[in-house]
Amino acid sequence: MGLEAAMPADSFMTTQINRLINWARRSSVWPMPFATACCGIELMSTASSRYDLARFGAEVMRFSPRQSDLLIVAGRIAVKMLPVLQRIYLQMCEPKWVISMGACASTGGVFDTYAVVQGVDQFLPVDVYVPGCPPRPEMLLEGIMAIQRIIDSENIPYDGEGRRLPLQVAMEPNYEPRPQPAEVSIGAT
């Protein structure tokens, strides 16, 4: 990994076991994608070669909750799907984290109807909200890096009864909207 080249052959390094464990955890985050709609396409794109989620050690998506520790909810969640999502969350190993990706997962988005969950944080402890409709892959990468910082700082809050408390970190959009390339006007025909 380059470290052995930087250090003399007979030297050694000291650290704390917690730091070592957190370093290993954050370098091998295992996402569990729950992608139901268009946000899922951006999630797939994040794992593709252009954005290369593998650079963050988080490219392994095997739809296997028992091995996963990062649930990414991407897209709208119908009320009928909710028990499945909750079961998947419960099957995942501890410690685990949750990203709510996109407007629909976080708020229901434009689907203000009785059939769509108006924010998964009502039912799951969401740690990071990734904004957008859909969020760009860069934005999801920001969200995953935020999870890595949380793991590094070992910031996993529990209430008095051992229940996981959500961290609820909201990512800021990281782009400046540009002006329209041509003036847009509505004229009489």
Q: Closest Cα partner for 69 from 30, 23, 39? A: 30
3-state secondary structure 42-109: HHHHHHCCCCCHHHHCCCCCCCCHHHCCEEEEECCCEHHHHHHHHHHHHHCCCCCEEEEEHHHHHHCC
Looking at the DSSP bridge assignments, the partners of residue 32 are 71
Task: Indicate the residue among 134 and 143 with the shorter CB distance to ligand SF4.
Answer: 134
Sole binder of ligand SF4 in the list 109, 125, 137, 143 (CB under 6 A): 109
Is residue 92 within 8 Å of residue 121, measured between CB atoms? Answer: no
38 touches ligand SF4 by CB under 6 A: yes
Position 43, amino acid: L
Q: Taking CB under 6 A as the rule, which mask of x and - marks residues 67-96 in contact with ligand SF4?
A: --------xx--------------------
Radius of gyration of the chain (CA): 20
Q: Considering CB under 6 A, how many residues would be counted as binding ligand SF4?
A: 11
Tell which positions 120-179 bind ligand SF4, by CB under 6 A: 133-134
Closest distance to ligand SF4 from the beta carbon of 111 (Å): 7
Q: Are strands 70-74 and 31-35 parallel, antiparallel or unpaired?
A: parallel
Sole binder of ligand SF4 in the list 77, 98, 104, 171 (CB under 6 A): 104
Task: Indicate the residue among 124 and 150 with the shorter CB distance to ligand SF4.
Answer: 124
DSSP 26: H
Task: Indicate the residue among 119 and 148 with the shorter CB distance to ligand SF4.
Answer: 119
21 touches ligand SF4 by CB under 6 A: no
Stretch that binds ligand SF4, among 82-90, 92-100, 103-111, 163-171 (CB under 6 A): 103-111
Closest distance to ligand SF4 from the beta carbon of 69 (Å): 23
Closest distance to ligand SF4 from the beta carbon of 37 (Å): 4
Residue positions counted in the chain: 189
Is residue 107 within 8 Å of residue 75, measured between CB atoms? Answer: no
Positions in the binding site for ligand SF4 (CB under 6 A): 37-39, 75-76, 102-104, 109, 133-134
